[in-house]
């Protein structure tokens, strides 16, 4: 299934966890003394629909406290501010889709410059990563893997089932992006 099909078919828990993972992967390396995981509360809210509003509020506060936010943090902050208070319905699906797009856009921004960037992201989401750089194609595959993994977990599974694995995949992706950003910064000096 393409990433678009996986998002369309995902349940509420899958949408919330996938969105949290997308935003989490894009956070830049925290500065000295900064909260290392400002979006950590979203993971708990992804596990339990009742906790979502409180955990969302905590994540917003933590992200607002990030000192000297760069463009990426500001974009994540804006998207987090648009998250639905109720972890349900089409608003959640639209928000999760926007988180997916943001993550792909950020990854594309650190790949080689491309004149067909918008078309390339759309093709990747539709299941055709031909011509995508390693960061964009890797992020597309990571998003699909997370949604597929969460879709396999049945309703009878414990409350947070699968979220540890999603967090591990997301952390791996975060390290890849941070390494690419660091490498680019060294090359520019």
Domain ranges, ordered by start, for the chain: 3-188
pLDDT, mean of residues 118-139 = 92
pTM for the model:
0.92
Rounded distance, CA 183 to CA 85, Å?
A: 38
Q: 152 vs 114, which has greater pLDDT?
A: 152
Per-residue model confidence (pLDDT) at position 179: 92
Among the listed residues 100, 82, 76, 99, the one whose alpha carbon sits nearest the alpha carbon of residue 27: 76
Q: What is the pLDDT of residues 47-88, one digit of tens each?
A: 889 999 999 999 999 999 988 889 999 999 999 999 999 998
Of the listed ranges 13-22, 61-70, 90-99, 180-189, the least confidently predicted one is 180-189
* pLDDT tens digits for range 138-162: 999 999 999 999 998 865 667 777 8
Q: How far apart are CA 171 and CA 177, in angstroms?
A: 10
Tell me how far apart the terminal alpha carbons of the chain are, to the nearest angstrom: 42
Q: Tell me the C-alpha to C-alpha distance, in Å, between residue 68 and each of 16, 22, 56.
A: 27, 21, 22
Q: Residue 20 has what pLDDT?
A: 96
The pair of structure tokens assigned to 69 is: 């936010």
- Indicate if the pLDDT at residue 183 is higher than 90: no
């Amino acid at each position: 299934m393409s990433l678009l099909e996986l998002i369309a078919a995902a349940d509420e828990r899958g949408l919330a966890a996938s969105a949290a993972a997308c935003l989490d992967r894009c956070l830049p390396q925290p500065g000295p003394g900064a909260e290392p995981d400002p979006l950590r509360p979203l993971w708990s809210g992804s596990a339990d629909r009742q906790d979502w509003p409180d955990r969302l509020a905590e994540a917003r506060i933590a992200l607002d406290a990030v000192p000297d936010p760069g463009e990426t943090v500001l974009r994540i902050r804006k998207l987090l501010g648009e998250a639905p208070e109720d972890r349900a319905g089409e608003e959640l699906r639209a928000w999760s889709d926007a988180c997916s797009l943001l993550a792909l856009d950020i990854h594309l921004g650190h790949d080689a410059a491309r004149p067909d960037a918008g078309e390339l992201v759309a093709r990747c989401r539709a299941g055709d990563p031909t011509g995508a750089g390693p960061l964009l194609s890797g992020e597309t595959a990571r998003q699909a893997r997370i949604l597929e993994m969460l879709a396999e977990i049945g309703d009878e599974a414990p409350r947070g089932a699968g979220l540890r694995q999603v967090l591990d995949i997301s952390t791996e992706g975060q390290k890849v992006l941070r390494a690419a950003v660091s490498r680019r910064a060294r090359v520019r000096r």
